[in-house]
Structures are given as C-alpha cells and as structure tokens.
C-alpha cells in the first residue's frame, strides 16, 4: 500500500510521517534550514501487513506543487493533513482537488495540532472538512484529531491504516510493466538506480525494458520493493530498480518511465476526457497553453476542444492534448492540467486515446469513437469502436494504447465478434458483420459484372476491389477477395476473377478464330509472333485480324501486351513468375530490366514492353530504374 500526505504547508505532514514511521523525510540541507519540505520524502513502516506500507510525504508550499503532483500520482490512500488551528487553507483545497481529479477514493484526514486548540474548535474544523470532502471522491473519510509532536491520537490513525492495508485487495498486476521514475541516482559499485511507483504489470531481475519516451534499452539488475530486496516489482509497489545498459549518453530522471517494450508508446497527441474545476476562474478556451502532468512527467501542451467553443468551470468535455515533444501515455492514465500563466491546477481527466491522430474527422465520428474508448473493459471498448469504424481498427495500436499484455490481447481476440485481417503491414480488425457485408458485396459485384458482360471471362482483381465500399483500404478489399478465392466462392482464371457458375462464351466466329490462334501462340513460348506474322500464319489480312484480336482481348482470352503483340494469359503469368523469381533471388527484392532480359531470353525491346505490362497489371512496381513485386 502506498500512502501519500496532502495539505497546506506547515500543517504537520512531515511531523506526522515521522511519528508514524520514525523517518524524517526532510532530508535536504535546504529543507532543514528552512524547516519546510521542498521535494518528496519517502519512508516505510511495518503496519503488520505482508509488506511495509510506503509513505510519500509531499511539500505543501504552492511553489512546489510540481513535486506534490509526482508524489500523489500513484497512491492507494490519501492522508489529508489539516491543522486544527488554521483549518482549511488554499493548498488544502488545491491538493484535495488534485486527489479528486486523480480518482483517489480512499483516504483519511489527520486533524493535527489538536494540542493547540479546544474541543469546540476541533468539532468546528471537523465539520468544515466534512463539508469540503462531501462533493469529492473522499467523501465521508474518517477524521483523526491528533498531536504529532506528542503522539496523542497517532495510534488510532496507525490502527486505521493497518486495518485498511489488511482489507485492501492486492492490486491486479495486469498489463505490461510501467514504472514512473521520481528519482534517479548512481550508487558506487552498482550504477544507476531509479525509484518510483509501478503503475502496471511486473518485472523481474534480468528483464529487458525500455527507458520511455526516449526508447533506450535497459536491463534490470536488481530490485528493491518497499525498501527490501525483492524478486519482483509489481503494480501498486514503490520500487527501486538497479539498471544496466548503455546509459552514458542519456539522462534518466523524474518524469521518465521504465516500461516493458510492449508498453512503449510515445505520443504527440492524446485524446482525453477533461473536467474543469468549478473554481478554475475562467472558461477554458480552445488552444489554451497548459502544463500537462501524467505520472511523474510534466510538459507543456495545448488543449484543442473537440466539442463546444469553450469549457465552463465545473464542466466536462472531450479534448485533444497537443504536445510539443513526445510523452509516454497510455489509455486510462490520469492527467492533471495547470494553467501555464498562473501555474494553478485547473483541470484533470483521463487519457482515452493516447495514440490519437491529427486526421480531420467528422465531429460526430470522433465523439462516437471517444465514447467507445471510454469503456473500462477493453473488449466492450473494441466492440463499440468496431461499430463506429467501417474501415476497421488498427488492432496493434489498440492493444498497445490499452496496455494489454499478450494473454489479455489473446483473450480479446477470442471475446470480440470480429475478423482480423492482415492488411497493409498491420492487423486490421473489422466487425464480423462488416466483413460478411464486404464478402457479399464482392460476390454481388461479380454477379453484376457477369450479367452485364456475359461474354467476358471475368473481372481483374483490382477492378473488383475498387467496386467494394472499402476504397480507403485496398488491402482490405484484397483480403476479402482472397478469402472468397480460398472458400472457392470465386475462381481465379489467368488474371481474372469469376463466379464458378459463370461460363463466358465468345461469338462463334471469334471462338473459331481463337481456337486457331491459341496453338500458334503456345508454340511460340514466351515470345509470341507480332500481329503481321500471326496474320500471315492464319492466312488473314492484318487489318481484319486486329479488330478480332481486340474483341477477344477485351473479354480476357488474350492480353494485348504491346500495340503489336497479343499474349495468352498463361504466358503473361509465366512472365510474371520470372519477375517473382528474380525479386526473390535478389537481396533487396528488386531487379532491373537487364537481369530480366537475360533470364527470360525475350530480347531487349520485348522485355521493356512486358515489364511495363506487368506494372500496369499490378504485378510489379517500377521506381528508381528497378522493379519489385507488389504485395
């Protein structure tokens, strides 16, 4: 269990932590001199649980709010400290607002300096505090009047903490490992040590992790959890990791994350649900500059409003946070915003889409998307998302943004009624119904073609793909066609697709002519005769042959590769196979025309014509004097 203090400066936070743990957390010389906490203090105390409880003592002075925000970023329990003589003060309110925005629901109030006031004042202060807590997540938290300097009343608080620790369920270690670094230092003989709270997952000595958002590989050498050597660092613990790796050229410190590679997702745009505090002062305008805090990190950002022209104090809205440099964030991360001018906390919320796009999408679509993402359960979120995205969802980035580990991602694929397609270098998830629609569209488009062009053998794959309502993603249309071919619902003959029931018929004279042409072309192998030679062999006029060849080609029985030369579809496929072999055999997957000429033996001029035909037919792509296979 991690417990953090909160409250106004001089109300007795540090004194209380010392009374509970025996540790003076004001360890900096400047803190000693000024008698005031500046940075975070850490202490551990055995409350009788399986593990010591971790205490984070935060500074109360408004100038050190940045440090306070780091201290409370990952707490199970908030200890709000209010001096009985002063009562509620500005940082009492501000710290409470922060705890509320972070979603902290477990806590207690220490009413300190009870030795300085009478019972009437204690009752009055307790009442004031209860009213302050009422609209927050800490509503009804118990109040413990005490004097930390004498120890009076401290035992009751300690027993309450021990009782809470016993009943607090161990935090689920789901997700991939993430630790928010709040300190780093070098230990003689050991090297770099970072400390911080583990937000999710677990790690063991020997694990290969990443420094995020920088992306530098590190290795865990040793682990301390709650001040003791440990096998494992798990969610809900404060840990120190001794790290190895090539860390000479990088600075590691507060605000960095140490994460499992699967949780590394630096981002420049975060879509979030935001709540503006009732006492934020003024409405939040579009493009307001802010300081954004996530975990132990803070950096400047702009708030782009996704709904409405401005957000009124006390209101909630979807926003996009636009960053000036990459930040590590994942779905569900709590965020706090401070006004850049006043440095005051003005708003907070939760990250919904950490890998948000800058694509301009219709407002309604975008809001539907964010509402889908707001589901706490990943399977429900994905199902809702699939309903809003007919072109599919990039499954890998959903899984990464949601911080699902391999097991969770596997279960997701089993639970959600979806079809996952390998399209264009990534896994695309589609609602099952949408996939079935796509398949029936393909069959309908083909049937329609056959009805209109009964003489044609069929449709080229690219033409069929362009007739599906999935133009934005050619890979998706191709996957649908492949699936139908695999099922036998569509046949591929030569380069053309047709329904199994379709039998194309040429007009009788053309059919008779084709029957004489096929053997002549076949006999010529990879290098069919030019039209003049073909006409001579058939005993026909060249001028009469050309229109017949064009008619036959339009229906797919021949292919016009060059103005003067017609090929059998089989021959074109054989020529494409040669291209594929050359590409396969070359290190970079590319080949040039000379290699093709040498391999095919069809001569220089015909090589160029054939290769250009393969480009046009979608077999190959030409760039920089070389070709590679498509798909």
Ligand X SMILES: Nc1nc2c(ncn2[C@@H]2O[C@H](COP(=O)(O)OP(=O)(O)O)[C@@H](O)[C@H]2O)c(=O)[nH]1
Task: List residues binding Mg ion (CB under 5 A).
Answer: 13-14, 37
Q: Is 92 in the site for ligand X (CB under 6 A)?
A: no
Binding segment toward ligand X, per CB under 6 A, in 144-152, 395-403, 561-569, 572-580: 144-152
What's the distance, CA 347 to chain centroid?
24
SS (H, E, C) 475-525: HHHHHHHHHHHHHCCCEEECCEEECCCCCCCCCHHHHHHHHHHHHHHHHCC
Q: How many residues bind ligand X (CB under 6 A)?
A: 18
Q: Is 15 in the site for ligand X (CB under 6 A)?
A: yes
Q: What is the DSSP string of 228-282?
A: EEESEEETT-EEEEEEESS-SS----TT-EEE-GGG--EEEEEEEEEEE-TTSSS
Least distance CB 151 / ligand X (angstroms): 9
Classify residue 528 by its DSSP letter. Answer: P
Identify whether the C-beta of residue 289 lies closer than 8 Å to the C-beta of residue 330.
no
Least distance CB 114 / ligand X (angstroms): 7
Q: State which H helix or E strand residue 420 sits in.
A: strand 418-422
> Residue 47 binds which one of ligand X, Mg ion, none, with CB within 5 to 8 A depending on kind?
none
Question: Which of residues 32, 116, 411, 522 is near ligand X by CB under 6 A?
Answer: 116
Question: Which of residues 2, 3, 6, 10 is near ligand X by CB under 6 A?
Answer: 10
Q: Is 86 in the site for ligand X (CB under 6 A)?
A: no
363-422: contacts with ligand X (CB under 6 A): none
According to DSSP, the residues that pair with 305 across neighbouring strands are 319
Least distance CB 117 / ligand X (angstroms): 10
Burial class (CB in 10 A: 0-12, 13-18, 19+), 24: middle
Q: Is 87 in the site for ligand X (CB under 6 A)?
A: no
Q: Is 13 in the site for ligand X (CB under 6 A)?
A: yes
Q: Is 24 in the site for ligand X (CB under 6 A)?
A: no
Q: Is 149 in the site for ligand X (CB under 6 A)?
A: yes
Identify which of 256, 307, 309, 311 has the alpha carbon closest to the alpha carbon of residue 281. Answer: 311
Measured CA to CA, the distance from residue 606 to residue 162 in angstroms comes to 86
Least distance CB 24 / Mg ion (angstroms): 10
> Residue 562 binds which one of ligand X, Mg ion, none, with CB within 5 to 8 A depending on kind?
none
Q: Is 11 in the site for ligand X (CB under 6 A)?
A: yes
Nearer to Mg ion, 3 or 218 (CB): 3
Measured CA to CA, the distance from residue 101 to residue 348 in angstroms comes to 5
Q: Is 12 in the site for ligand X (CB under 6 A)?
A: yes
CB atoms within 10 A of CB 239: 24
Dihedral sign from CA coordinates of 317, 320, 322, 327? positive
Question: Which of residues 24, 86, 115, 408 is near ligand X by CB under 6 A?
Answer: 115
SS (H, E, C) 193-229: EEEEEEEECEEECCCEEEEECCCEEEEEEEEEECCEE
Binding segment toward ligand X, per CB under 6 A, in 12-20, 210-218, 235-243, 410-418: 12-20
Least distance CB 373 / Mg ion (angstroms): 39
Q: Is 195 in the site for ligand X (CB under 6 A)?
A: no
What is the per-residue binding string for ligand X in 163-182, x denoting contact by CB under 6 A?
--------------------
Judged by the rule CB under 6 A, the positions of this chain that interact with ligand X are 9-15, 36-37, 60, 81, 112-113, 115-116, 147-149
């Amino acid at each position: 269990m991690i417990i953090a203090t909160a409250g106004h400066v001089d109300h007795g936070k540090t004194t209380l932590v010392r009374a509970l743990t025996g540790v003076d957390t004001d360890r900096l010389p400047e803190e000693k001199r000024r008698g005031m906490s500046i940075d975070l203090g850490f202490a551990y105390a055995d409350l009788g649980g399986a593990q010591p409880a971790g205490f984070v003592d935060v500074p109360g002075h408004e100038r050190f709010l940045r440090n306070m925000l780091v201290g409370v970023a990952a707490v199970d329990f908030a200890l709000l400290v209010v001096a009985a003589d002063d009562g509620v003060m500005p940082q009492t309110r501000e710290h409470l607002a922060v705890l509320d925005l972070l979603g902290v629901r477990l806590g207690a109030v220490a009413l300190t300096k009870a030795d300085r006031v009478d019972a009437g004042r204690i009752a009055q202060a307790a009442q004031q505090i209860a009213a302050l807590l009422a609209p927050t997540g800490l509503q009804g938290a118990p109040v413990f009047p005490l004097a930390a300097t004498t120890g009076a009343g401290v035992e009751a608080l300690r027993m309450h903490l021990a009782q809470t620790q016993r009943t607090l369920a161990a935090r689920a270690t789901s997700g991939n490992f993430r630790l928010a670094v709040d300190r780093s230092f070098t230990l003689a003989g050991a090297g770099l040590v970072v400390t911080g709270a583990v937000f999710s997952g677990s790690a063991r000595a020997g694990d290969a992790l990443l420094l995020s958002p920088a992306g530098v590989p590190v290795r865990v050498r040793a682990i301390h959890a709650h001040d003791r050597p440990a096998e494992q660092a798990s969610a809900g613990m404060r840990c120190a990791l001794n790290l190895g790796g090539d860390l000479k050229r990088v600075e590691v410190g507060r605000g960095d994350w140490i994460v499992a590679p699967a949780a590394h997702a630096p981002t420049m745009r975060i879509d979030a649900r935001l709540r503006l505090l009732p006492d934020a002062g003024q409405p939040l305008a579009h493009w307001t500059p802010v300081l954004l805090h996530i975990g132990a990190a803070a950096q400047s950002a702009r708030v782009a409003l996704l709904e409405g022209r401005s957000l009124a104090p006390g209101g909630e809205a979807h926003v996009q946070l636009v960053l000036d440099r990459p930040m590590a964030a994942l779905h569900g991360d709590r965020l706090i915003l401070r006004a850049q001018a006043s440095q005051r906390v003005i708003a907070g919320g939760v990250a919904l889409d950490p890998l948000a796009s800058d694509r301009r999408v219709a407002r309604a679509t975008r809001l539907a998307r964010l509402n889908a993402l707001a589901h706490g359960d990943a399977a429900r979120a994905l199902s809702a998302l699939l309903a809003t995205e007919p072109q599919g969802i990039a499954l890998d980035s959903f899984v990464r943004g949601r911080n699902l580990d391999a097991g969770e991602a596997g279960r997701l694929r089993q639970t959600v009624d979806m079809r996952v397609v390998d399209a264009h270098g990534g896994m695309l998830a589609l609602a099952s119904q949408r996939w079935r629609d796509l398949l029936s569209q393909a069959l309908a488009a083909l049937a329609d073609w056959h009805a209109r062009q009964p003489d044609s053998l069929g449709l080229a794959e690219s033409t069929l793909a362009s007739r599906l309502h999935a133009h934005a993603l050619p890979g998706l249309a191709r996957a649908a066609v492949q699936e139908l071919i695999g099922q036998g619902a569509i046949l591929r003959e030569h380069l053309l697709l047709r329904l199994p029931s379709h039998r194309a018929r040429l007009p009788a004279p053309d059919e008779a002519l084709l029957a004489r042409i096929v053997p002549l072309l076949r006999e010529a192998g990879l290098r069919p005769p030019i039209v003049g030679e073909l006409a001579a062999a058939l005993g026909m006029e060249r001028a009469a042959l050309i229109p017949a060849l064009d008619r036959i080609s339009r229906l797919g029985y021949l292919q016009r590769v060059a103005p003067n030369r017609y090929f059998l579809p089989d021959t074109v496929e054989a020529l494409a196979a040669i291209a594929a072999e050359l590409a396969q055999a070359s290190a970079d997957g590319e080949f040039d025309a000379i290699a093709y000429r040498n391999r095919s033996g069809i001569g220089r001029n015909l090589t160029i014509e054939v290769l250009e035909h393969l480009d046009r037919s979608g077999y190959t792509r030409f760039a920089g004097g070389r070709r590679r296979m498509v798909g």
